[in-house]
Amino acid sequence: MGRIVLVSNRVLDLRKAAQAGGVAVALADIVRTRPSLWFGWNGEIQPEGGEANVITREGRIATIPLTSTEHERYYLGYANAVLWPVFHNRLDLAQFEAGYFDQYMALNRRFAGHLQRMLQPDDVVWVHDYHLIPLANELRKLGARNRIGFYLHIPFPPWQTFMAIPEHAQLARGLAAYDLIGLQTKSDVSNLLDYMVNGAFGNILSDGRVSAFDRRISIASFPIGIDPADFANPKREGGMAQGRGVKRIVGVDRLDYTKGLPQKFKAFGRLLEKHAQYRGEVVLTQIAPPTRETVEAYLDIRQQLESLAGSINGRFGELDWVPIHYIHRSTSRRRLAGIYRSSRIGMVTPLRDGMNLVAKEYVAAQNPDDPGVLVLSRFAGAAEQLTEALIVNPYDIEATAEVMRAALEMGLDERRARHRALMAVVVKQDIGAWCQSFLAALNRAPSRDDPSTWSHPEPIRHALEKLLQPRLRRQAPLRQGVPPQVALGGQPL
Ligand code: GDG
């Protein structure tokens, strides 16, 4: 078997991957343990006219810098000011500016050019995330016949939202060049299938694949996980100092408008307003490290949050009790486990999130004998799996405040029972299972270039598609996704 070639916007130094955690650890693990190559941006920005095409090779890692124009228009622009907000249902924040898309395509072409020269015929390529949607198509234009899979870490939006992107058809063309597309949840799969059928005039085939733009693609959900052992080590206790008997509610989120931070602060304020008995008894510790600070929308959310924390602390705080601890800095990964473990509530309430690893980390870090309670947004991908959490609608401030109260009051038996069920999911579908199931499905995904993998000769397939089409369409009305009998690999739909 050939190498696994990983491609992501950002490639991390293997020595720092453990500190970054999550996906970085999983990818670093593949690179350490299997014949592989990891290609992407090294985090450096070259001024225009600099040496942007110099590849740095260190063992199995190959990286290049971005030019300042690429950084501005591809990374901060198209990826983070168009695709990120639209995929998180925030069309109002999308900046469809001239030049962003061209630079996004140009960067993908440049990446493909470098990668194609490093590819061997039996390599399997695994591309990560929304920055690199067109990469496979660009590789194929250069002659790559490798098996290429794509994993989207963020949600796929409802099909009509996706169609608001002026270049949606070119993006769909890019998606169709992959052999396998992996998504976080079943509802993401359903959204993408809806788009492929209704927006890109594709068909769902009898073997469950989608036919679009003259290619056949497998689409399935592979919910990402964590390494629970990373958080379940009791030696890592040592949360933060707290007044005796004070219960902590913890939030850990990059400072991003998708994470529902103002709503979380408001719900906590409402809890203190309505239920005075919690004043002096509960604190909300919110760790919110900075991210993408030069994108305008991120500046707004920071100001909004600081003003909210200030007004709630000013209104309810005492000389010996500050209700909201808001920390706008990164905390070491080693300390996070202790903070999770010493918190009575894990408050994970994004307005939209692909998965949300913090929810799983919080569960893994709990003491099974005296566990805390996970409060989880119904709009986080994790809610599809972590059904024993207290599920909330983060837009509903009043109800969220009441759920916080219920979590604070929950008895030990119920906390233990819920935690057992949640932990079973976190352990079963961990990061290793995610990696393996995606790569196994990619290896299984029939390749268009290999006729032996076709289950029917082409003319029969055509007839079959035509025959099945009206029936499939009847069973898959708009917005309800794919009918059950065409469930795809990975997770059953
Ligand atoms: C994207 C998708 C999907 C956070 N603050 C600190 C810190 N973190 C770590 C957490 C966690 C990771 O960062 C954040 O992961 P999330 O999954 O919560 O969210 P995104 O960054 O938005 O990730 C998301 C994910 O990709 C994976 O597919 O789940 O939906 O948006 O591991 O612990 N780590 C340290 N200090 C901090 O202050 N050390």
pLDDT tens-digit map of 49-74: 778 888 999 999 999 999 999 999 99
Report the predicted TM-score, pTM, of the whole model to 2 decimal places: 0.90
Catalytic residues: 153, 353
- Contact call for residues 39 and 3 (beta carbons, < 8 A): no
Could you give the 3-state DSSP secondary structure of residue 159? helix
What is the 6 CA–ligand 1 centroid distance (Å)?
Answer: 20
- Amino acid code (one letter) for 399: A
In b/e form, how buried is each residue of 224-240, taking b as 16+ CB within 10 angstroms? bbbbbebbbeeebeebb
What is the 2 CA–ligand 1 centroid distance (Å)?
Answer: 31
- Residue 276 makes CB contacts below 8 A (sequence gap 6+) with none
What mean pLDDT is predicted for residues 113-123?
96
What is the 275 CA–ligand 1 centroid distance (Å)?
Answer: 32
Instruction: Among 129, 221, 264, 356, name the best residue to mutate to test ligand 1's pocket (greatest count of ligand atoms within 8 A of Cβ).
Output: 356
In b/e form, how buried is each residue of 32-64, taking b as 16+ CB within 10 angstroms? eeeebbbbbbbeebbeeeeebeeeeeeebbbbb
What is the 310 CA–ligand 1 centroid distance (Å)?
Answer: 25
Per DSSP, the chain holds a count of helices (H) and strands (E) of 17, 16
Could you say which DSSP state residue 329 is in? S
Could you tell me the pLDDT band of residue 241, with boundaries at 50, 70 and 90?
low
Q: Is residue 468 packed enough to be buried (19+ CB in 10 Å), middle (13-18) or exposed (0-12)?
A: middle
Instruction: Among 84, 130, 358, name the best residue to mutate to test ligand 1's pocket (greatest count of ligand atoms within 8 A of Cβ).
Output: 358
What is the 20 CA–ligand 1 centroid distance (Å)?
Answer: 9
Could you say which DSSP state residue 77 is in? I
Could you tell me the pLDDT band of residue 262, with boundaries at 50, 70 and 90?
very high
For ligand 1, what atom is nearest to the CA of residue 256?
22
Give backbone dihedrals phi and psi of 211, rounded to 5 degrees, phi first.
-105, 120
What is the 215 CA–ligand 1 centroid distance (Å)?
Answer: 34
Q: How far apart (Å, rounded) are the C-alpha atoms in residues 367 and 414?
A: 14
What is the 154 CA–ligand 1 centroid distance (Å)?
Answer: 11
Could you tell me the pLDDT band of residue 48, with boundaries at 50, 70 and 90?
confident
CB neighbours (10 Å) of residue 90? Answer: 17
- In the structure, which protein residues have their CB atom closer than 6 angstroms to any atom of ligand 1? 21-23, 153-154, 224, 252, 254, 287, 289, 330-333, 336, 353-358, 361
Query: Mind listing the pLDDT tens digit for each residue in 124-175?
Result: 999 999 999 999 999 999 999 999 999 999 999 999 999 999 999 999 999 9
Rounded to a whole number of angstroms, the distance between the first and last alpha carbons of the chain is: 30
Q: Which residue in 435, 441, 1 sits closest to 179, CA to CA?
A: 441
For ligand 1, what atom is nearest to the CA of residue 19?
39
Query: Mind listing the pLDDT tens digit for each residue in 478-488?
Result: 333 333 322 23
Could you tell me the pLDDT band of residue 14, with boundaries at 50, 70 and 90?
confident
Tokens at residue 238, please? 């040592």
pLDDT for the residue numbered 242:
54
For ligand 1, what atom is nearest to the CA of residue 357?
17
Q: Is residue 491 packed enough to be buried (19+ CB in 10 Å), middle (13-18) or exposed (0-12)?
A: buried
- The residue contributing the CA closest to ligand 1 atom 32 is 22
Instruction: Among 156, 254, 255, name the best residue to mutate to test ligand 1's pocket (greatest count of ligand atoms within 8 A of Cβ).
Output: 254
CB neighbours (10 Å) of residue 86? Answer: 20
Q: How far apart (Å, rounded) are the C-alpha atoms in residues 112 and 64?
A: 12
pLDDT for the residue numbered 116:
97
Mean pLDDT across the chain, nearest whole number?
Answer: 89
- The residue contributing the CA closest to ligand 1 atom 35 is 333
Give backbone dihedrals phi and psi of 345, rounded to 5 degrees, phi first.
-130, 135
Could you tell me the pLDDT band of residue 473, with boundaries at 50, 70 and 90?
very low
Beta strand pairing status for 61-67 and 180-183? Answer: unpaired
For ligand 1, what atom is nearest to the CA of residue 224?
28
281-285, 290-294, 487-491 — which one is most confidently predicted on average? Answer: 281-285
For ligand 1, what atom is nearest to the CA of residue 358?
18
